[in-house]
Amino acid sequence: MMLRSTEKELLLTNANQLEVSDERKCAQRHQYSRPTIQTKKLRKLNSAHTTLGRSRVPGRAWKRQELENDHRHFTVNALKQKRQQHTLLTRLIYHGHSECVQVVLEKIFSGKIYPTMVDHVCSTGRTALWYACKNGDLNLARQLIERGHAHISKCGVLIVAAQNGHANIVEYLLSMGCDPNRQARNYNKTALHAASRRNHLAILNLLLKHGANSAALDYKKRTPLEYAIHKRHIEIAKALIYHQNGHFDKNQFGFTPLMMAMNFNKTQIVDILMDTLPRQQVLNELALLACKYTIEGYASRQHQAYSYFENLLSMTTPVCNNATCEAYESFSECRTLNELAAISHDNNAMRMHALLVSERLSLTSSDLAFHLRLIAKQSDVYRRRRLLHRCLQLRLHAYKLESQIRHNNCHD
């Protein structure tokens, strides 16, 4: 009986071994027949691994990429763990535990805790002094600066104080020698931009009193006056206009503050600018705005543009230095109101008149940025109408004007 059972077991094991060997052979055959299909699919999924010549097996490149990604992920996590979001001091200030803050400060001042905690920059890019200025805690800011020797130029502490309307902290920081024109990396603007945008007039006057640059640009290339115009902050705009005494630069789009205020219908700011600027400068800037309305084809503002041209001609007779040329279809600038009225219903003639006025005023101020934008828009109009020769003539004329200005600037 024992022998029969052992024989049966041997037969079963042999049969199992044969089945396993057959499965292995089938798997090997399947494996040998699949690589071409797999590589074609993988090449379609990831075109980065396909080359013009010989292509490697994608599995190797993918494995290398996975290892690199794992390594980067590990290093990023290690850096995050290394740099904590808060220190003990900043956490207490953030949550408003004033008594605990005083205990920690006494430990720092007595030397029982490292004093570097005062100026430590957390992963949020903030310091203890920044949180104190944001909360408006003047007493804490005094302690951190006078006893903890905190740097007043770190992380934009003046900007955050101006942004949140803490005039007492702004005054204290300025008295301690904080630079009002310093731009912090996490803000990319000055304290004057923050005060103008948030409508803090007292802080704005403090900053201007301590030498803040009212023509400074932020990361969007905007001045504090531009923010005041856009936000309709009348008193802020009045203070900046009177501080600059009518001397304004054009922005990146070739707009002056008057053109901007008129374009966005800020009537109160327009009245302030008209009272401050000379009469001829007001007429010239409004004429440039009329040129923009005419070239861009604003139907709702054509009457407004025509009235600006009328005001310019009624006050002064233009000395036309721009002779007739093919780029402007041999048109000449209107010298009288009758000539302007004669072309008022001719869209193309009004466009040429606008380009001629814009060129004359731009050459007078040696700033062609605004005029070149108008030429580009008019050339696009020609291109859409399939008048490619007109488009080319206008572009070549713009190139000549730009080279002329550069030549004059080099000789000056």
**pLDDT tens, 104-134?**
888 888 887 888 888 888 887 888 999 999 9
Q: Find out whether 259 and 235 touch, Cβ atoms under 8 Å.
A: no
* Cα separations in angstroms, 169 against 145, 192, 196, 226, 382: 12, 15, 17, 26, 58
Give the whole-angstrom CA distance, residue 103 versus residue 251.
Answer: 51
pLDDT digits (tens, 9 = 90+) for 153-200: 888 899 999 999 999 999 999 999 999 998 887 778 899 999 999 999
Confidence tier at 11 by pLDDT (50, 70, 90): very low
What are the structure tokens assigned to 293, written together?
A: 């309305």
Q: What is the mean pLDDT of the segment spanning 276-287?
A: 92
Break the chain into its structural domains and give their ranges. Answer: 76-188, 278-412
- Length of the chain in residues, anyone? 412
Range among 19-28, 53-62, 74-83, 235-244 rated most confident = 235-244
pLDDT of 36: 46
Contacts of 271 (CB under 8 A, 6+ apart): none
Q: Does domain 76-188 have CATH number 2.102.10.10?
A: no
- Measured between its terminal Cα atoms, the distance across the chain in Å is 120
CB-CB contact of 130 with 94 (8 Å): no
**pTM metric for this prediction:** 0.72
